[in-house]
């Protein structure tokens, strides 16, 4: 019986796949046998690798459409196909929405939303010509479903990314499936910049119902599922991978007021 998680002979592109969540996704697909291409403005210190098999890196600023075109063409030239696109590149520094410049907001939306649309459009052109189509996975954020103070443009862009998938699934089916992952708090190599030392990370983890923050491989596992035949009837959907979400603040406030 064929293993539905065997991606041998498949080609996967993970934007921003050299670090953080993207690296975890890249490593999961490598372990599953896929040929993995990653991109970024600069190469990572070390390429994602599993059992001696490395990801293929292409320099690309995903906000530049002409560079995205070169990226996709390079991958198809090298591997002959493109089966999975994971739109992972994104992020935003903290900024006050009242004082941030228009240029700043435009840049955040370009990185987190517009670039994913352009990459998806280019990948779709390839996938529509393949007998078995392809799968596009957009990496969204819990900022999609809750307030995002300090990163308002980022939250709005990620919300747009989820809605984008709903529309593209209708336009591009049945050949191409599009889904989103609503990602919660993840412990990456840069976690200390946001949460402090190991105790800070553990303290944040205790606020999550499953008792810990995610690790990049948790997101990678969900990508594997969504790209696999096991998810062949899932399209236009979003899956929350956030450990149960956040404990409601009003419960803590109520318990504190009653001495509970």
The 3-state DSSP class for residue 105 equals helix
Kindly list the distances between the CA atom of residue 168 and the CA atoms of 24, 103, 110, 131, 178, in Å, as whole numbers in the listed order: 26, 28, 18, 19, 7
- Give the tokens for residue 54: 């490395």
Q: Which of 12, 10, 8, 72 is nearest to 36 (CA)?
A: 12
Instruction: State the CB neighbour count (10 A cutoff) for residue 103.
Output: 8
Catalytic residue selected from 57, 154, 172, 195: 154
Kindly list the distances between the CA atom of residue 137 and the CA atoms of 80, 85, 217, 232, 235, in Å, as whole numbers in the listed order: 20, 6, 15, 13, 10
The 3-state DSSP class for residue 61 equals coil
Q: Which of 110, 87, 88 is nearest to 188 (CA)?
A: 88
Q: Is 233 a catalytic residue?
A: no
Q: Which of 161, 27, 26, 168 is nearest to 90 (CA)?
A: 161
Q: Which of 90, 89, 93, 45 is nearest to 194 (CA)?
A: 93
Q: How far apart are CA 207 and CA 249, in angstroms?
A: 10
* Sheet with 134-141, side-by-side order of all strands: 56-59, 35-40, 11-15, 84-87, 134-141, 176-183, 237-241
**Can the peptide bond before residue 87 be classed as cis, meaning omega within 30 degrees of 0?**
no
Tokens 């944040």 — which residue?
A: 204
- Catalogue the active-site residues: 154
């Amino acid at each position: 019986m064929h293993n539905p998680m065997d991606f041998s002979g498949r080609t996967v592109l993970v934007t921003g796949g050299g670090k953080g969540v993207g690296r975890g996704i890249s490593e999961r697909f490598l372990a599953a046998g896929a040929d993995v291409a990653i991109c970024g403005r600069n190469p990572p210190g070390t390429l994602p690798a599993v059992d001696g098999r490395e990801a293929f890196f292409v320099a690309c600023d995903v906000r530049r459409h002409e560079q995205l075109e070169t990226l996709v063409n390079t991958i198809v030239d090298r591997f002959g196909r493109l089966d999975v696109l994971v739109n992972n590149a994104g992020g935003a520094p903290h900024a006050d929405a009242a004082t941030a410049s228009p240029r700043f907001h435009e840049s955040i939306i370009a990185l987190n939303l517009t670039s994913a649309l352009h990459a998806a459009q280019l990948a779709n052109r390839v996938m529509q010509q393949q007998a078995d189509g392809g799968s596009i996975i957009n990496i969204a954020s819990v900022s999609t479903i809750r307030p995002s103070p300090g990163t308002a443009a980022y939250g709005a862009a990620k919300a747009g990314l989820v809605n984008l998938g709903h529309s593209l699934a209708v336009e591009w089916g049945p050949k191409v499936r599009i889904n989103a992952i609503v990602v919660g708090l993840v412990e990456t190599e840069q976690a200390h910049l946001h949460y402090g030392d190991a105790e800070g990370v553990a303290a944040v983890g205790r606020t999550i119902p499953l008792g810990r923050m995610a690790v990049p491989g948790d997101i990678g596992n969900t990508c594997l599922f969504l790209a696999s035949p096991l998810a062949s009837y899932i399209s236009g959907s979003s899956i929350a991978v956030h450990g149960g979400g956040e404990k409601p603040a009003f419960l803590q406030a109520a318990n504190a007021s009653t001495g509970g």
